[in-house]
Each structure stands twice: as C-alpha cells, then as structure tokens.
Amino acid sequence: MRTSYTADQIRGAEQALMATLPEGTLMQRAAHGLAAVCAGMLGRVYGSRVLLLVGSGDNGGDALYAGALLARRGARVSAVLAGARTHEAGLAAFLLAGGRVAPDVGAADLVVDGLVGIGGTGALREPYAGLVERAGGPVVAVDVPSGVDASTGQVAGAAVRAQVTVTMGALKSGLLVDPGASRAGHVELVDIGLGPYLPDPDLAALTDPDVAALLPSPGAESDKYRRGVVGIAAGSHAYTGAAVLAVGGALRAGAGMVRYAGPSAPVAQVRTHWPEAVITELDRPSLAGVGRVQAWVLGPGLGTDDWAHELAAQVLASDVPVLIDADALSLVARDHSLLFRSAPVVLTPHAGELSRLLRVARERIEASRLEFVRRAASELNATVLLKGSTTVIAEADRPVRVNLTGSSWLATGGTGDVLSGVAGALLAGGLSGYDAASCAAYLHGLAGTLAADGAPLVSADVATAIPEAMRSLRRARG
C-alpha cells in the first residue's frame, strides 16, 4: 500500500528526525537524491545546461546543493535567485562548485523548480510566475511543483507543470490527487529516513497485492449463494443499456448470482445479453417477487420519475448494503430521507452529481476533491467514491483512498455503469463498502487499461476485461 501525508505531517516528522541528526544532514540527503534523478534525465551530464529556479525556502537550498553536485560532474549550472533571501550555505557550495548566478532564465536542457516548498499555498506570485512561464526545457520539481498545494492538490492559479517531481521522505497527498497530480508528472520518492517518524497516513493507495488479498475467492464449499447474490435495479424504457452494463460488470466480477429487476424494455436487453441473470420484469415498482439478495446496485439508467422514486425507496428500505449511482443519486439529492437507513450505503457520484448532493458548485468540488469527498462521507453517513480524473474513496474516520489505475479512454458513456456492477458484486461477496469501492475502482481502472491498450474502447470492453484484470492481480500475488 502506498501512503501519503499532509504538509504538516511531513514537517512534524522532519523536525523529529532532525533532532537526532547533525545540522544539514537531511538537506544533503535530499540534494543527492535530487541530483541523481536530474542526472538520469539528462543522460549525459557533462556539458549539459541546467537552470535552477531558487526560492527563499529549503527547497531552494535542496536545488542549490543538487546544482553543485551536477556542476562537479561537468554540467553548466546557472541559478536564478528569485526569493527575498537565499539559503546561504547552499549558495556558497553552489558557487564553489562552479555554478553561476544568472539574472534571468536562459536556454536549458533541464529546469529545476526550487521556488516554493510544501508550505506554499495559493497561486504563484511574481517574480515566480513569470520565471515559470519564461523557462524552457523539461522541469524537475523539488518536493512538489510550485503552485500546487502539497496537502490537497489544489491549484489556485499559475503553477509549475513538471515532467518529474522528486519528493523527499514521503509522498505528499497533493501529488496523488488532481489537479495537483496532473502537474506533478512522474513522482520519484527519495528516502531521507522519515519512516519511523511518520504518523498515520492522510491518504492511502491500494497496490496489486493489496487488492488481490481483498478480492473474494471461492473455496471448496462455495456455491452461488455463498459467493454473493447481487440485486440490480437499473434501466428504463429510455436507458436500456445501463442495465446491461451494470449486470455485465457484476457477472464479470464474480457474483454468484445476479438478480435483475426492471421494466420490460431493459429486461429484454438483459435477457439477450446475459442469460445467466435471474430476471424479474416489473410492471409496477415492487420488489415483492425478486428474491433475497446480499447487496443492491441502484440507479444506472433508472430515471428520476415517481416510478423510479418508489422503487428506490423500496430498495433502500432493505437491510442489505446498497450502492447508489447515476439517476438514484439525483433521487437522493432531492430526497435525503432516502438515506436514513442503518445498513451500509455506497455512493458513486462524479463531481456534478456530488454538487447536487452537497449543493456546492461543481467547480469547487473539482478544485478540492479531498475536502468534498470527506465532507460527503461525513454528512451523508456513507462510503463515497468520487469519480473523475482522480478517483477518491472516503469513509468517516478512515484515510481517504486514492485510485491509481485507469486510462483516459475510460472517459466514455457507460463505464460508470460497469463500475457499479463490479462494486455491487464485491459488496455481495462480503467486502465492506470501503473495500468494495476501493477494489472496484482499482479493477475497473486496470480493466480499462487492458481493454484500451492505447486505443478507444466502449464500455462493454471494460466489463469483458474484468476477469483478465483479476487474473493479473492473482498472478502478481503468486
């Protein structure tokens, strides 16, 4: 499992470690790690041109010491001293190694962003913003790209867009969550010894072994009921495909049985595509004849009329976990009383749907995903999976989980319906809402990558690739 931390958590760990070490030790460790990454990017260090953008803080010191190491290897290193003050020892080492101070940016094979450290918040101000705009060449950011909030990933205005971010001691949460993650590029972690001093993480990201260990596996005594029976209430005369995709996601993810309930038009489509599903055609919104399930998926393509509201109310009156997606999110946004239940609830909104649930502008949610996914989990008493370029999963009193799998080709209609089915199968298989949502997001992203393979996909391709994604995880586990 990968873990990340807020700026305050990192500073606390650094202070505790520094109290045990000679002065300057941490900066030297950071500088050596930074210089090694820069050398790797340059390929041939001797004769290369390196530009340091140096701010007032310790990040500027890291950049100067790293610049000195590169200069000793024959690089032509110049530094623009942009801050109100400069790290004196770092500057002295830099000049002694043959580095030079430049009045402004010039041509460079590599730019090192040491302007603002993990304590910086808000948009870059002058002269920093202008320097970033004028600097040309690949950018390596020190610890966090300047202009990105290290704790939240917020970008309030001008900010560095790095190809590589070299972060010291531990991952910062803002490097894993958009919009900050999209500014960070590839993240390289330099171990400076913080491990024993770090607190409980702010964020966690599952890895292949984590997900493989959590996924339900049938045993010798398993039957279709022990493997999990998931009910799916989805689809309408207008949106038949949503039901097909949700059922497909659940079946492909290993549900022992899928019970589908819906009106005649989606019933016909589900019956054609998935003869494995047990189908109940509804001529009125009643679950009386559906049979027992261990979890429900509610909402894809359901509609938002009175018929859909009544069916949603019956599903939510059950005593099993319910995953709420798509149209059902609109229903509960209008009627929060539907969420007054004791059994677990998993909500899977995108930013627009969460904006209706919380009555907050979509733009605010997209700019501060961590803040609002945590708020939604607390206010709505639910596990919340916020979909988007960075998918995050929150539950009260647990670290937010961030999903690191996926492909931009997944941004196509219907993929969310597949995700709902996958998560519903995992809920029915016995996983908690927190684990089911996290593992479903991981599998869905991995399946999307496998299905796309660098080319466009359709949602059914993602469902088809779910078993291969599961196999790949189990092979990695051994």
Same domain, yes or no: 146 and 275: no
Same domain, yes or no: 181 and 224: no
In single-letter form, the type of residue at position 43 comes to G
Per-residue model confidence (pLDDT) at position 361: 97
Same domain, yes or no: 282 and 305: yes
Per-residue model confidence (pLDDT) at position 226: 79
Higher-scoring residue by pLDDT: 475, 21: 21
List C-alpha distances in Å: 436 to 170, 215, 383: 27, 9, 10
- pLDDT exceeds 70 at position 12: yes
The CATH number for 344's domain is 3.40.1190.20
Flag the least confident range among 129-138, 158-167, 296-305: 129-138
- pLDDT exceeds 90 at position 280: yes
Domain boundary, last residue among 178, 202, 226: 202
Q: Mean per-residue pLDDT for 450-472? A: 95
Same domain, yes or no: 370 and 449: yes
Q: Mean per-residue pLDDT for 8-37? A: 96
Q: Mean per-residue pLDDT for 453-460? A: 92
On average, the pLDDT of the chain sits at 95
Domain boundary, last residue among 148, 177, 202: 202
Same domain, yes or no: 155 and 264: no
Q: State which residues form the domain around 310.
A: 208-477
How many angstroms separate the CA atoms of 158 and 108, rounded?
Answer: 21
Given a contact cutoff of 8 angstroms between Cβ atoms, the answer to whether 140 and 165 are in contact is yes
Per-residue model confidence (pLDDT) at position 108: 95
Higher-scoring residue by pLDDT: 224, 108: 108
Neighbours of 232 (CB within 10 A): 34
Residue with tokens 């790095």: 162
Per-residue model confidence (pLDDT) at position 218: 78
Q: What is the DSSP string of 268-307?
A: HHHHHH-TTSEEEE-SSS--TTT---SEEEE-TT--SSHH
- pLDDT exceeds 80 at position 225: no
Per-residue model confidence (pLDDT) at position 220: 65
- pLDDT exceeds 70 at position 394: yes
pTM: 0.93
Per-residue model confidence (pLDDT) at position 478: 64
How many angstroms separate the CA atoms of 470 and 213, rounded?
Answer: 11
- Residues belonging to the binding site for K(+) are 59, 113, 146
Nearest to 78 by CA among 42, 116, 49: 49
Same domain, yes or no: 213 and 329: yes
Per-residue model confidence (pLDDT) at position 438: 98
- pLDDT exceeds 80 at position 277: yes
Q: Mean per-residue pLDDT for 249-263? A: 97
In the chain, the number of structural domains is 2
Per-residue model confidence (pLDDT) at position 223: 66
- Residues belonging to the binding site are 58-62, 113, 117-123, 128, 143, 146, 242, 301, 350, 387-391, 416-417
Same domain, yes or no: 186 and 268: no
Residue with tokens 């701010």: 55
Q: Mean per-residue pLDDT for 51-69? A: 96
Same domain, yes or no: 40 and 103: yes
Same domain, yes or no: 173 and 68: yes
Per-residue model confidence (pLDDT) at position 475: 82
Same domain, yes or no: 164 and 300: no
- CA 215 to chain centroid, in Å, comes to 20
Q: Mean per-residue pLDDT for 381-390? A: 96
Same domain, yes or no: 236 and 335: yes
The CATH number for 33's domain is 3.40.50.10260
Same domain, yes or no: 182 and 229: no
How many angstroms separate the CA atoms of 79 and 50, rounded?
Answer: 8
pLDDT digits 0-9 by tens, 27-56 = 999 999 999 999 999 999 999 999 999 999
Percent of the chain with pLDDT over 70: 99
pLDDT digits 0-9 by tens, 135-177 = 888 999 999 999 999 999 999 888 999 999 999 999 999 999 9
- Residues belonging to the binding site for (6S)-NADPHX are 58-62, 117-123, 128, 143, 242, 301, 350, 417
- Which DSSP helix (H) or strand (E) runs through 171? strand 171-172
Q: Mean per-residue pLDDT for 14-39? A: 96
Flag the least confident range among 20-24, 118-122, 204-208, 339-343: 118-122
Nearest to 327 by CA among 258, 439, 420, 250: 420
Per-residue model confidence (pLDDT) at position 356: 97
Domain boundary, last residue among 165, 185, 202: 202
